[in-house]
Amino acid sequence: MDHSSSTFQSRLIGWLRKHRNWCLIVLLPTALVAIYYYAIAANQYQSEAHFVVRTSDTPTAAPSGLSQALTMVGGASSERDAMLVADYLESHDAVEALQSRVELAQRFRRPEADLVSRLWFTNPSPEQLQKYFKGKVDVNVSSETGITTLKVRSFRPEDSYRIIQELLKLSEGRVNTLNQRNYANAITLSQRRVQEAETNLSQVQRQITQFRRSEQDFNPQVTGASRTSMVSDLQGQLAVARAQEASMAAVVKANSPQLVALRRRVAALSSQVAAETSKLSQGPGNVASGMGAYEGIKVRQEMAGKQLEIASASLQRAQDDARRQQLFVVPVVDPNMPVKALYPERTKTVITAFLALALIYGIGWLITAGVKEHAA
């Protein structure tokens, strides 16, 4: 038995000496990787959630499959806005919010975490915490369905579950912030136009008030119409009086009291008609100039009113469009409470390391053999 054992040891030593390069380059590093992953590396638990960022707009082209079902639930998907939310979830703003809400750094420094994979710093800087956090969170947006897949790993199941829940809340908060900004940007110009139209209309109305006070005439149009009607009546009376004068002068003497009185009436009517006619178009405060100024102001008032009406309609359309384009988060898969540790992938990692080292060794051996053959 002792002889067999010594023979085996001598053969093993001989084999190791013969293949010492392979052992040093392939076997030893693979053994170290295996020792770390199977004996030292701590279990990591992953929680996963899926959601989509949608608007209430109806898509122009009818989608199919899962995309159609999601559209029926939440409207048209927005990959660009989903990318914005995904970028936010890995940003320093999200990390800072998580630190204040769930003490993120302490959750990555649990006692069961190994020295290699844990967060090394007790009080990490924002940059250090964000860099470490990016290694524990994965946010992926599908270009086909618009679904955002969110994954979080930590050393305890409840930590992963809590962190991913807070990330979903942060994504909803970011969407609400984007909605507020987009809404304000969309209607700011329309609101400014409404304010300008209201200011213009107020100025015109003040001009009308000043005109009425200065001219002491509430409505020159009504005043002009009444004066024109009065002049027409006077002219009618004058025509009747002149006809009576002509007919009476043919049958009575020139110094007849009746004829003299009628001529006085004709003269008075003529004077009154001339005076009222001059008020319509001549002299200061005449009806024609007052009516022209008043009508000009009224035209500006009507134009200002139309501008206000158009601006108000434009504001209403902008508000409706902004509401239709508002974003909201639609959950597809709720976050799960992890039961089994999915990381680290021990066997996969060890096999990958062995194959990679073996490939490197093989390439090096071929190069060395080629050089020796060329030298010979």
The pLDDT tens digits for 221-230 are: 555 565 666 6
Are the C-beta atoms of residues 336 and 47 closer than 8 Å to each other?
yes
- Residue 142, Ramachandran bin (φ over 0: left; ψ between -120 and 50: alpha; else beta): beta
Contact 41, 114 (CB under 8 A): yes
Please write down the long-range contacts of 290-293, taking CB distance under 8 Å and 24 or more positions apart. 290/215, 290/217, 290/220, 290/223, 290/224, 291/220, 291/221, 291/223, 291/224, 293/211, 293/220
Q: In whole angstroms, what is the distance from residue 376 CA to residue 369 CA? A: 11
Q: Which of 100, 114, 119, 107 is nearest to 154 (CA)?
A: 107
Distance CA(337)–CA(46), nearest Å, equals 8
Instruction: Return the pLDDT at 221.
Output: 57
Q: How far apart are CA 53 and CA 328, in angstroms?
A: 6
| Per-residue pLDDT, 230 | 65
Query: What pTM was computed for the model?
Result: 0.64
What is the tens place of the pLDDT at every residue in 105-124? Answer: 999 999 999 999 999 998 99
Tokens of 294: 């008043």
User: How high is the pLDDT of residue 274?
Assistant: 65
pLDDT at position 61: 44
> What pLDDT score does 130 carry?
94
3-state SS record for 346-364: HHHHHHHHHHHHHHHHHHH
CA 269 from chain centre, in angstroms, equals 76
Tokens coding 305:
């009113």
Q: Residues of the chain whose pLDDT is less than 50?
A: 1, 58-67, 69-75, 218
pLDDT recorded at residue 304: 80
Q: What is the pLDDT of residue 300?
A: 78
